[in-house]
């Protein structure tokens, strides 16, 4: 299975979603809901997915804009793939989420540096907030 090709089908839609605050907000929210339901199955991917969703949320509220549109589109495409019940392996099947996990793993490894930068930003914001108390 070529996950690059499977993910590529979601890029056009992802670009449209990134251009619409309402659509981006909905994808971020729906991905959080599905991830919460699949937390045990996601295992370590859950933390990475939550970080990516926090990045989207920070981008939406303007507190973090240090991400290229291209990388944001890639993250949103992975979220759309995760949300779609009809992708390479139908989610209704016993192993239906395995391709979703593979796509998320691929995207998180491709954007490791991007997510690491956001993680450091997020931690620095937390530290500053605690220092203000």
Report whether 76 contacts 116 (CB < 8 A).
no
pLDDT band at 95 (very low <50, low <70, confident <90, very high): very low
Domain count across the chain = 1
Report whether 125 contacts 63 (CB < 8 A).
yes
C-alpha–C-alpha distance, residues 69 and 85, integer Å: 26
Q: Which own/partner pairs from 125-128 qualify as long-range (CB within 8 Å, at least 24 positions apart)?
A: 125/63
pLDDT band at 91 (very low <50, low <70, confident <90, very high): very low
Q: Is the pTM of this model over 0.85?
A: no
Check pLDDT > 60 for residue 87.
no
Residue-wise pLDDT for 12-65, tens only, equals 899 999 999 999 999 999 999 999 998 988 888 999 999 999 999 999 999 999
| pLDDT value of residue 115 | 97
Q: Exposed e or buried b for every residue in 17-51, given b needs 16+ CB within 10 A? A: bbeeeeebeebbeebbebbeebeeebeebbebbbb
What is the extent of the structural domain holding 39? 3-132
Report whether 100 contacts 92 (CB < 8 A).
no
Q: What percent of the chain has pLDDT over 90?
A: 62
- What is the overall mean pLDDT for the chain? 85
C-alpha–C-alpha distance, residues 72 and 56, integer Å: 8
Residue-wise pLDDT for 16-27, tens only, equals 999 999 999 999
Report the interhelical angle of 21-37 vs 44-61 (nearest 10°).
Answer: 160
C-alpha–C-alpha distance, residues 7 and 20, integer Å: 20
């Amino acid at each position: 299975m070529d996950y690059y090709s499977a993910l590529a089908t979601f890029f056009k839609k992802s670009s449209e979603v990134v251009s619409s605050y309402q659509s981006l907000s909905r994808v971020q929210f729906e991905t959080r809901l599905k991830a919460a339901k699949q937390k045990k199955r996601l295992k370590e991917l859950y933390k990475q997915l939550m970080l990516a969703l926090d990045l989207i949320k920070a981008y939406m509220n303007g507190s973090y804009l240090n991400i290229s549109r291209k990388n944001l589109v890639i993250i949103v495409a992975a979220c759309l793939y995760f949300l779609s019940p009809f992708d390479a392996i139908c989610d209704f099947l016993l192993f239906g989420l395995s391709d979703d996990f593979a796509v998320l793993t691929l995207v998180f490894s491709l954007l490791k540096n991007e997510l690491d930068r956001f993680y450091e930003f997020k931690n620095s914001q937390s530290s500053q907030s605690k220092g203000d108390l």
